[in-house]
Each structure stands twice: as C-alpha cells, then as structure tokens.
Amino acid sequence: MSSLTAKMAAYTAASDGDRLPEGVRERTKKVIFDEIACGYFGRRSLPGRLAADYIAPLGGPAEASVLGTDRRAPAGYAALANGTAGHGEEVDGAHVVGGHPGASIVHAAVAMAERQSATGMELVNAVALGYEVGVRIVRACGGKFVVRDEKHLTSDMFYALGCTAAAGRLLGLDARRQRHAFALATFQANGLYALYAEKDHISKSFCNGQYAFAGISAALMAAAGLEGNEDIFGAEHGLLDAWGAERGAEVMLRGLGEEFAIEGANFKFFNAGYPIHTPVEAAMTVVSEHAVAADAIASIEIGMPRNAMRVVDDRDMHNICVQDMVAAALTRGGLALSDRPFPAILDEPTYRDLRSRIVVGVDDEIERENPDGRGARVTVTTRGGARFSRRIDHPRGHSRRGDVSWDDLEEKWRDALPGCDVAAALSRGKDLESVGDVKELTAAFSGTMS
C-alpha cells in the first residue's frame, strides 16, 4: 500500500486549480490579496525592516519582489523577508485550526510563482494546496494548543510543509521528488514555543518567514536531486511518530480533495493578536450602544477561554496584550489599521485610568462551549452602578461569522498602503484566474513603504 507521504505527494503533484470549487477559488484569491497587502504593510514594522535589511547584501538572481521596497531577490530570500513582514504588524490572517498559515504559505507561493512566471490560476491552486497540507498536519498533531502544551512547539512550524507543497507544485515536482521535498523541509523548520517570550515580536515574525524560505528551499533541493526519507510523515521516527495525535494519519487523509482548509482562513481588520479582536469589538459595542463615556467607566471585566487568555493576558508587547489594546480602543474611540497608538498613548491620563480598571479572567460558559475559540464577553460597570455586557463568539472576518467581501478588503487597505496602487492590486486580485503571469499582480504592489 502507498505510504502516507506518498498519498500526500501524489495529491500535491496532481492538484489543479480548475478542479477547485468556485467558492474555494474565490476565498483563496481574497486570502492571497490580503496576505500580500499584509507583507507590504508590515515592512514598516521592526521585524519587517530588519528582514529586508538582512537579505539585501546576500545577492543572487532577482527572482521575486521584496514587498514595500524597490528590491528583488532570490525567491527563497524574498519569501523570508515577505513572510517576516507579513506577520510583523499582527494583521495577517489566522486560521480556525490555529496559527498564521498565510504569512508563510502565501509568501512562499507568491515568490515561487514570480520565479516561475506562473499564472494566476497556478498561484491560486498552490495557495489552496499549501493550506490543505499544512492545516491537515496541524490537525493530525492535535491542533494548536495540544502542539503548544504537549509538544512545546508553535503549530506554525508545520505550515512549512504547506509551503513545500505550494512551492513544489509551482516548480512542477513529480510525486517522488515531492516526497523528498517534504523530508528536506523538516530539518529547516523548528519552532519551540519558548520563542513567544521575546520582547519585540522579531523572532515570532521571523519564524513565518523562515518557514516560507524552508518550503522553497526544500522544493529546490528536491528538484536538484537531493533526497530524504520517502515517508517522512508516516515513518518510524517521522513527523507523526514524533508529534502526531491518535489516528493522525486518518486525520491527514480524511476528506482530502473534498474539504478545503482555506475555507477556515480568517481575516483581521486591525493589527493585534487574534484573541484580542472579540474583546475590543465587544467593548466598543457596549460603550456605543449604551452611550457610556470613558470617564464614566468604573470597571471593565473581560472573560475569555483559558487558552486564548494565556496568549494575550498582560503581555509585554502592546498589540499582543488584551488590556493594552482594549484600553487604547476605548481611549481613541476605536482602532484603525494605520493607527500606532503606542507608545504615545501610555502618557494619556484616560488610557492609564482605563487600563487600571480592566480585569481579565476565564469565562466559564465560553470555556465550556468553545475552549479553543476566540470568543469573549465584556462587562462594563459605570460609576453609577449600571452594568452592560456583550458576548461575541467570532470576531469580524472570522470564517464562522460569514464571508468577507472584496469591498471589505478595499475598505481595509485603501488608506494603509502608501506608494501602492491599491485599486490596481484589488482589480488584479479579483481577476486572478485570468492573470497570465503573477508578476502582473505583484507589480501593483511595487511601491515603497515609508
């Protein structure tokens, strides 16, 4: 019988965008546009700037765009820089299974597509395929929080295998070489969860870029004739043997070609850690609906599932800290994508007062109903004793809340990408199936982020 890796490699090598359902193609196009925009936008971040500076002197053929700059670089290095920038501002999409596949998979696929002068449809297929492989592996290992708590890893490291599938398909690897590529990617991707203890969001962002680089590097190695274990997923001491959950192989194959992981991709509309989005939305809804002024607030209680709370409770980095971001949103009357309230807001008396009145804890009902979700309940108590609550289970842009329109994405990015022709990029993104060379899309993002 075929090995697990052989089955995944055969699926990868035979994948074809024309066979994707129309709704899957449409969502994939939106994900591609949004993640490229995130890479451009994130060039302004510290990790985004450092990554671009790091690859600048390395040289090599000018195969792919370094977003937000006027530079081109070898595909692997461009993917590293763009994936790092893509997560640098925490506005890149998350996924219902956990983590940030787009910051790695989309940038690996786009860079390789530029290198290969691939069509828009080939890019759509590669990205949908990358999500399919990467997300299935995360599920086969028990999901984001099992991977974190039992394996001490960030689940994003498994998206390197999704990058490998995307890059391999664009490169035209046959199934045998794709098996080698999967193995060759594994020793280039690691992600001990301890990296989240950093102070400046650099390592966490760099990992997304490194996983994109690993996918391209592994595909190119395989094409050059390098080899690895031909069943890296299912072999003794292989991926599932090391990190897999019970019946992991079955999870990887169930519904393959019929259920598409890209449909679980989520979009963000302001730059903050994903568990923060529902508390901010709930808090802003309460004060708006009940006309509660900031100086009338006596306390703010935020209830969340335990796993989500552990990610964002009282963190040092402001846009990963739920207390900081809720207080900033209430102080400023909301959060716009281009806002950079920190550190200036730290000296504002209203912010300091609101920040001191926020209490975060586990919401037992939400914990019981959806322990791995991103829901939250916010209760605002006024100085006059009135209490108002709002529970939100899925933030705006979440796949379980409904689709995101092209108009939503145009509104999100219209004023956030200086130097970029957003209208042209949006037009090419909408019509990506008819684009003859992906460089037509990336050319619309050819401005310089200042």
Query: In angstroms, rounded to a whole number, what is the distance separating the alpha carbons of residues 130 and 134?
Result: 6
Q: Which two tokens stand for residue 405?
A: 């329109």
Q: For residue 393, count CB atoms less than 10 angstroms from its CB and return exposed for 0-12, middle for 13-18, buried for 19 or more.
A: middle
Contact 315, 272 (CB under 8 A): no
* SS3 labels along 46-101: HHHHHHHHHHHHHCCCCCEECCCCCCEECHHHHHHHHHHHHHHCCCCCCECCCCCH
What is the block-wise mean pLDDT of the chain (450 residues), using blocks of 10 residues? 92 97 97 98 96 96 96 98 97 94 98 98 98 98 95 97 98 98 96 88 95 98 97 97 97 96 96 95 97 97 96 93 97 90 96 98 97 96 97 96 95 93 95 96 85
Between the CA of residue 358 and those of 215, 276, 334, 379, 435, what are the distances in Å? 42, 13, 17, 10, 50
pLDDT of residue 353: 97
Task: Give the pLDDT score at 450.
Answer: 61
Q: Which residue has the tokens 């529902």?
A: 278
Domains in the chain (CATH in brackets) are 4-269+401-443 (1.10.4100.10), 274-392 (3.30.1330.120)
Task: Give dist(CA 381, CA 421) in Å, integer.
Answer: 45
d(CA 81, CA 209): 6
pLDDT value of residue 367: 97
